[in-house]
Chains A and B, each alone.
Chain A
Amino acid sequence: MTSAAGTVDRPSLTDRSVGAMRTVARNNAWTLGLLGFLVVLLVFTKVVNSNYGLSSLQGTATSVLPLALAAVAQAVIVIAGGIDLSISSQMALISCVAATMMKTYPGEDVAVAIVLLALLLGLVLGAVNGALIVLTRVPDIVVTLSTYFIWAGFALLVRPAPGGSAAEWLKDLVVGSLGTDLLPKAAIVLIVIVAAIWIPLSRSRLGLSLYAIGSNRLAAFRSGVPVDRTKFLSYVIGGLIAAFAGLSLTASTGIGTPVPEPTYTLISIAAVVLGGVSLAGGIGGVFGPIVAVVVLQLIRDDMTFMRVNPNFGLVAQGFILIGVLVFGSLIEMRRSRS
């Protein structure tokens, strides 16, 4: 066996790579399907709007950035078996703090410190959510529902009315493109932030623990995963990403708006689910949710361009959400039956 068949037994290089590709495709079937849908949608966009070109990608990227970051934050928390309803008020609070401080202490250099401070605030907000959930044992949905009100209240304290300002370099970071139209700055910012947080995380012990407590809390506990600490950290990481989302709001609008857009929470949850993350926890990644946010935004843009009553855009988003989920669960049911 070992002597003669050494070369025969080992699959050839192409065979192996095909096999690997097949595994990747099977593991990411949902995300790949979603990507296919995105391509179809982009073609459709080009058909209905012949002006939609590479330069329009910039606009799409800029408008998608806050939501995409919110969806990534939500994804990290949902993977660990939680859910964060307070995400939109977190974004509002951080955006207001940043915009107000940049107005009070103008200067491009000071703004760097303010951005760091805002990120720290995000960590703190996430830590409060996580600590409340772990210490009180109240279900995540109830705790974050309460903190939704609390963060929104603080945002109103900081900024009773929309206003403030943003540093030029911050605004410059999300508008326009880098050299060619193919590289919208907002998309690069998104990729850099997500890659810097998610890639090290998913390869670390903590990343594995997030999936472990999300898929089976008891089994994770019995295998020695520090369940409470992992849960807490999932909210801290979520808070950090939500802080980036809030800062991107300030960057793209130039101001801070105290009243949170509840749709950010709702759409972040919708995007997470559309992106193949199971609300029960333990399944999915962050790439799918980002694609889902782009899909949802493109649908809305197309509707606007086609002069469809924009409210039908909402109807369409709702129906697509429901339709995709029903489709997904049909596949799941068929698979489990066979």
Chain B
Amino acid sequence: MTATTGAFGDGWLRAATWRNLFRDNPLIPLTILLVLLVIVVELARPGTVNTGWAAFTIRQAAVLAILAGCQTLTMLTGGIDLSVGYVASMAGFVTATFVHQPGGWVLGMTVALGVAALAGLINGIGVGVFRVHPLIMTLGMGLVVYGFSNVWQLQNVQTGSGVPEELRWLGTGLTADIIPNNLLVFIPIAVILILLLRRTGYGRMLYAIGDNPVAARLSGVRSWQVIVVLYTISAVLAAIAGLLQSGLSNTASVTLVTPYLLPSVAAAVIGGTSILGGRGGYSGTIVGALILTVLAGFLSIILPEPWRQIVFGSIVVLVAAAYTRVTAES
């Protein structure tokens, strides 16, 4: 009894205890990292950190976090979705081309979401039914979507396009000058995704498939159905992110969101989701997206473009390495 108490007493000093704490709650080190980063930003450029800066950061991070949500969900099953950049850009662009057409942007948005769902469905059938490697399946589908967006662009050169007022309000607008309106979309998505992963059978099946596909199948999980639904959800999420981004930047182009593809993977990885599947969660991803957005914004102030990319890449690999070390089974 006394021995146990003694072990517990000095246990908090031991590295292993900290390691277990961090492994079980990746949110703690991530939040510390985020706070440290914000402090560094404020120290480097006093006066940067204010409500306007926060609103600006959150507005951008929300879009990245939704895209990173696609990666989180697919990575949990051991997959990845490389079509999100093209699907998201397509959604924003198609919606914008409908603005001056009969039916307006509402019809455009419906078409865009429908096309995205279709692309996701094909992804899911390829990965789930035909067992094509997710990397290459979603890559091929991304090329298809990108090609079709370009064709659509050429056909609509004359009609002209514009980002609808409502999307601009949603993407750019601030309520009471502080709260970004796109949280109206992001918060429900975040809550649903977190609950989906933590509380529902579907969420558990995602973890199960990623952890051990054979065991999951043998215990009666119909993997292909789970995966078809998963990639459809992922594509629809990507489309929503694309709509928000086109509202945020007030432009719509067929490559608008593609620069966010690699950061979306990085955000999920930094957030503690294993690219090998079976481990991770969405709350970590949200913090990961915030970290990357703060970092990218900060680097764009203090460094020229080349160094920005070098530092960005180095930090991603360092954080991932730290993570792997902490979470390694010892």
CB within 8 Å of B: which residues of A?
A: 83, 85, 132, 136-139, 141-143, 145-150, 152-157, 160, 266, 269-270, 273, 279-280, 309, 311-319, 321-322, 325-326, 329-330, 332-333
Contacts and interface: CB of A to CB of B under 8 A. Distances in A.
Given A139-B276, A330-B130, A149 B151 contact: no
Nearest to B322: A136
Nearest to B275: A139
A314 B146 CA distance: 8
A31 B144 CA distance: 25
B309 A149 contact: yes
A85 B269 CA distance: 15
Report which residue of B140, B147, B312 has the largest number of chain A beta carbons within 10 angstroms of its beta carbon: B140
B23 interface: no
Interface of B: 80, 82, 122, 126, 130-133, 135-137, 139-144, 146-148, 150-151, 154, 262, 265-266, 269, 274-276, 305-314, 316-317, 320-321, 323-325, 328
Looking at chain B's contact residues, the main secondary structure is: helix
Given A145-B262, A322-B122, 14 more contacts: A85-B262, A138-B317, A138-B324, A142-B317, A143-B320, A146-B266, A149-B309, A157-B310, A309-B151, A311-B151, A315-B143, A325-B136, A329-B132, A333-B131
B316 A142 contact: yes
Contact of A279 (B135, B148, B308, B324): B135
Contacts of A312: 147, 151
B129 to A, nearest CB: 9
A266 B85 CA distance: 13
A132 to B, nearest CB: 6
Contacts of A309: 150-151, 154
Contact of A147 (B135, B305, B306, B313): B313
A303 to B, nearest CB: 10
A157 B137 CA distance: 35
A1 to B, nearest CB: 46
Contacts of B142: 318
B76 to A, nearest CB: 14
B154 A318 contact: no
B275 A142 contact: yes
A94 B303 CA distance: 23
Contacts of A326: 126, 130, 132
A332 B132 CA distance: 11
Contacts of A138: 317, 320-321, 323-324
Contact of B306 (A139, A153, A313): A153
Contact of A314 (B150, B314, B316, B317): B150
A150 B309 contact: yes
A280 B154 CA distance: 39
A146 B316 CA distance: 6
B50 to A, nearest CB: 29
24 contacts: A136-B324, A137-B328, A142-B266, A145-B265, A145-B316, A147-B313, A150-B313, A153-B306, A153-B307, A154-B306, A157-B307, A270-B140, A309-B154, A312-B147, A314-B150, A315-B144, A315-B151, A319-B140, A322-B137, A325-B133, A325-B137, A326-B130, A329-B131, A330-B130
A236 B317 CA distance: 19
A195 to B, nearest CB: 27
B308 to A, nearest CB: 7
A137 B151 contact: no
Nearest to A152: B309
A311 B156 CA distance: 14
A332 B80 CA distance: 22
